[in-house]
Amino acid sequence: MHFKMIVVFIEDEKTDAVMDAARKAGATGATVINNARGEGMTQSKTFFGLNLETQRDVILFLVEEHLSRHIIEEINKVGEFDDKPGTGIAFQIDVEDAVGVASQQAKLTDEVKEFL
- Residues 17-31, mean pLDDT to the nearest whole number: 94
Q: In whole angstroms, give the CA distance from residue 11 to residue 70.
A: 21
Could you tell me the pLDDT band of residue 108, with boundaries at 50, 70 and 90? low
Could you tell me the pLDDT band of residue 97, with boundaries at 50, 70 and 90? confident
Residue spans per domain, the chain: 3-40+51-115
| Residue 78, pLDDT above cutoff 70 | yes
* HSE-up (13 A, CA, CB side) for residue 115: 14
Look at residue 112 in the predicted model and tell me its pLDDT. 62
Q: Tell me 14's DSSP state.
A: G
Which carries the bigger pLDDT value, residue 99 or residue 69? 69
- Enter the CATH code of domain 3-40+51-115: 3.30.70.120
Rg (CA), the chain: 16
Helices (H), the chain: 15-25, 65-79, 102-112
Helix (H, G, I), strand (E, B) or coil at 40: coil
Helix (H, G, I), strand (E, B) or coil at 101: coil
Look at residue 99 in the predicted model and tell me its pLDDT. 84
Which carries the bigger pLDDT value, residue 2 or residue 116? 2
Share of the chain above pLDDT 90, in %: 47
| Residue 116, pLDDT above cutoff 70 | no
